[in-house]
Amino acid sequence: MDNFNQIALIFILAVPLFTGGALIFFPRNKIGAIRTFALAGSLLTFLLSFYVFVMYDYHEGGYQFVGSIIWLMDPLNIQFSFGIDGISAPMILLTGIVMLAGTMMSWNIEYRSKDFFVLFMFLVAGVLGTFSVTDIFFLFFFYELAVLPMFPLIAVWGSTTDFGSFLRTKEYSAMKLTLYLVAGSVLVWIGIIALFIETTNAGAGTFSIETLSQMSEDGVFSRKFQLIFFPFFMIGFGVLAGLWPFHTWSPDGHVAAPTAVSMIHAGVLMKLGAYGIIRIGMTVLPEGASGWMPLLIGLGTVNVLYGAISAMGQRDLKYVIGYSSVSHMGLVLMGLATLNPIGVTGAVLQMFSHGIMTALFFAVVGMIYERTHTRDITILGGIAHRMPFTVILFAVAGLTSLGLPGLSGFIAEILIFVGVFKTSIFLAILAVVGAAITAVYVLRLLGKAFFGPMDSKWETLTDGGPRELITNGLLAGIIFFVGLWPMPLLRVINSGVAELLARYPI
């Protein structure tokens, strides 16, 4: 079994890549075989991700399942090294879950389904790669690999929003998303090169995160260097995390994307940004992080309030959720910026919780859209009469997002609040207010779009089938599980966060 552990992460990466690669050679019209094969690949990936999460030894902590292959020798010294710690393990699990759910929810895609699954698999492989490598070069490589398939996925399979006065074509959204993320990664790239140059000047240029953080501990990076280059990571990755005011790609992107892509996108891809800030920014540049955190926590607060208030003013179901993602990612950023164990743990838990929750949100909205062909809140009304289970699932996601106890969002949010309280009472109060605004828009949404008397045009609606209900039911089950008994997840996160924050003064 030990031998397997050494290559488990390679397997996790290889399975979606292989699935995607093999799907290319499938005949285009064998849709059934394509779906089955994609599902098998997703299932295997999920099981592997579950396996590494369960097998991660939180007593020991640190990077586990490590391995390394030399890719480029001196002087660049790039190694394909991988390993997961207490922060990336939950993220891998999250990706596995959302990927499986996304595949299940993409079952009905008829148009070019082969191409869809190929791109989808590459997207997931990119995400998984980013979470599991410990070399900045490859982290960046996989990060880009995750971003690029989004463009065709949105531009080809997406949907256009048209309210007459308000038009967003899917091509526009895809373009905006890609440009934004590439612009963000340019900043990150500059930062990475700066790190490399600085380490080269110190004697040994390296891309390895472990070596970098060791060197950082030895004082290779001066305070000035850290203060100059931390913002590159903060803003660069922050763009992906929906940091205000670089968030506008995210609601548009969420809305235009097809269901499964929205799920991956909001559920996992946005977490890549926060993860990047943790993995490179906070690990390697602690002094820079300490110096810039007041800004990040402030912007996070703006995210929370701005996202929540904007969500209240939306008409499109998906836009509401898109803006709520902006709001919740603000909580993640706030939690990270506290730099204390409770806040950061809360942030990582919120990343997980929000991932599952948004995936559920988008899956349910996808179900509704598939049946009603509209996402306009003012047109939907009383569909709970015909789609009770769907609406219950939506309500579960909504209640999670407003931080109802017993659901995963609450634990994460309360931890973040406690953490932020230690930093700034005023901002913490604003964050709590933001959570209350979430309650307002979620409840208005539920009341307006789902409950109340039914419009006669929805007579023929049908509730979700077993495939959809089971998938989403499982997502909801995870939300309940984490909300009631967060310890299995928190143990792992605790170990990672303790290591991360060991170098910060408390």
Q: Which residues bind other proteins (CB under 8 A)?
A: 166, 176, 245, 248-249, 252, 306, 309-310, 312-314, 323, 340-342, 344-346, 382, 384-385, 399, 402, 404-406, 410-411, 414-415, 417-418, 421-422, 425, 428-429, 432-433, 435-436, 439-440, 443-444, 446-447, 451-454, 485-487, 490, 494, 497-498
| Length of the chain as a residue count | 506
CA atoms of 291 and 276, how far apart (whole Å): 18
Q: Tell the smallest beta-carbon distance from residue 47 to other proteins (Å).
A: 26
What gap in Å lies between CA 157 and CA 160, rounded to an integer? 10
- Considering the complex, state which of residue 240 and residue 404 has its C-beta at the smaller distance from other proteins: 404
**Paired strand residues for 72:** 78
The b-or-e profile of 178-213 (16+ CB within 10 A means b, else e) is: bebbeebbebbbebbeebbebbeeeeebbbbbbbbb
H or E stretch including 27? Answer: none
Residue number, 122 or 249, with CB nearest to other proteins: 249
Distance in Å, CB of 487 to other proteins, minimum: 5
Give phi and psi for 457, each to the nearest 5: -75, -10
**For other proteins, the closer CB: 1 or 487:** 487
- C-beta closer to other proteins: residue 83 or 322: 322
Min dist CB 423 to other proteins, Å, is 11
Q: Cβ closer to other proteins: 123 or 155? A: 155
Three-class DSSP category at 340: coil
Closer to other proteins at the Cβ: 194 or 454? 454
Beta carbon of residue 498, minimum distance to other proteins (angstroms, whole number) = 7
Q: Minimum distance from CB of 315 to other proteins (Å)?
A: 9
Nearer to other proteins among residue 184 and residue 486 (C-beta): 486
Question: What stretches of 313-340 show up as alpha helix (H) in DSSP?
Answer: 317-338
CB neighbour class for 111 (10 Å; exposed up to 12, middle 13-18, buried from 19)? exposed
Distance of closest approach, residue 440 Cβ to other proteins, in angstroms: 6
Read off φ and ψ for residue 86, nearest 5 degrees. Answer: -65, -15
Evaluate the CA torsion angle 35, 41, 47, 50 in order and state its sign. Answer: negative
**Residue with Cβ nearer other proteins (11 or 451):** 451
Q: Scanning the structure block, which residue is given the tokens 């495939």?
A: 467
Least separation in angstroms between CB 443 and other proteins: 5
60: closest CA among 352, 494, 350?
A: 494
Q: How far is the CB of 225 from other proteins (least distance, A)?
A: 29
**Residue 373 near residue 443, CB atoms below 8 Å:** no
DSSP string over 230-278: HHHHHHHHHHHTT-TTS-THHHHHHHHS-HHHHHHIIIIIHHHHHHHII
CB nearer other proteins, residue 112 or residue 444 = 444
Q: Give the shortest CB-319-to-other proteins separation in angstroms.
A: 9
